[in-house]
Amino acid sequence: MALSVLVIRTSNCGIDSCAVLGLAQQQMDRPIRAFTLTFDNPLYDEARIAEAQARHVGATYHPIPITGRQIAESFADAIWHAETQMFNGHGVAKYLFSRAVRAAGIKVVFTGEGADEMLGGYPYFRVDALNDDPALTADEKSALLTEMLGANPATRALLMPDQVSSPEMQAVQRRLDWLPAKLNMAAAQTNCVAPMFRDDLPASVREFHRWPPRWIGCRWRNASPAATGCTRCSMSMPRRSCRISF
């Protein structure tokens, strides 16, 4: 906690983020700056809850307003930085949040990320827990899955797709002797989204090699400019302005 700047992200105002904010504030002798995203659509906006939580624990509330247009216009940049596909605006919102916090001069934040992974908050973790429970019969597992996921066929298809039999999934199953539901779900979603890509995108993705890095010739790496240097910006561009992660 001995940081010159301490920030808590409460972008979704969930139990995890709010708990981290409250626990951290108890250890501080000054108000923590609590940043949260606010939206122009009241169905998604949780600004009132975030402000109330910050006030309750003695933190200072800092809203970051974003619009649907900003999310749409930032989709490409968010995907470029994340190096993976995105099915909704969640990752884009995180990108906009990070950009705003960095613009405020902050480089480190505490969040509630990881709680679902640690405590099995996501349905696919609970699917694995049920399937790995030897005390349950097949009927009992089926009943519990129905109770957990509901009877909505769309929800079940999204969270419990048919097992993907790709070489990658087969390799994972051979190595672990089981296939995590999370990986199977991600593989199934990727297969569904792949046909929507532009014809030229798969080739560009296949030909992209992160190593050796494209900034081999960057002056910030104590190397002279060369043909293998950064292809995305000028060699004279300041490092802080470069889009390549260091």
Beta bridge partners of 167: none
- Domain ranges for the chain, please list them: 7-113, 120-160, 162-201, 208-238
Q: Is the pTM of this model over 0.95?
A: no
Backbone angles phi, psi at 193, to 5 degrees: -85, -30
Residues 233, 215: Cα–Cα separation, whole Å = 10
Cβ atoms within 10 Å of 8's Cβ, excluding its own:
25
In the β-sheet with 33-39, what is the strand arrangement from edge to edge?
7-9, 33-39, 60-66
For the chain, give the mean pLDDT: 77
Cβ atoms within 10 Å of 232's Cβ, excluding its own:
12
Give the lowest-confidence range in 73-77, 106-110, 137-141, 167-171.
106-110
Query: pLDDT by residue (tens digit) across 128-144?
Result: 888 889 999 999 988 88
> What kind of architecture, by CATH, is found in domain 7-113?
3-Layer(aba) Sandwich (3.40)
Query: pLDDT by residue (tens digit) across 67-81?
Result: 999 999 999 999 989
**Residues of the chain with pLDDT > 90: what percent?**
24
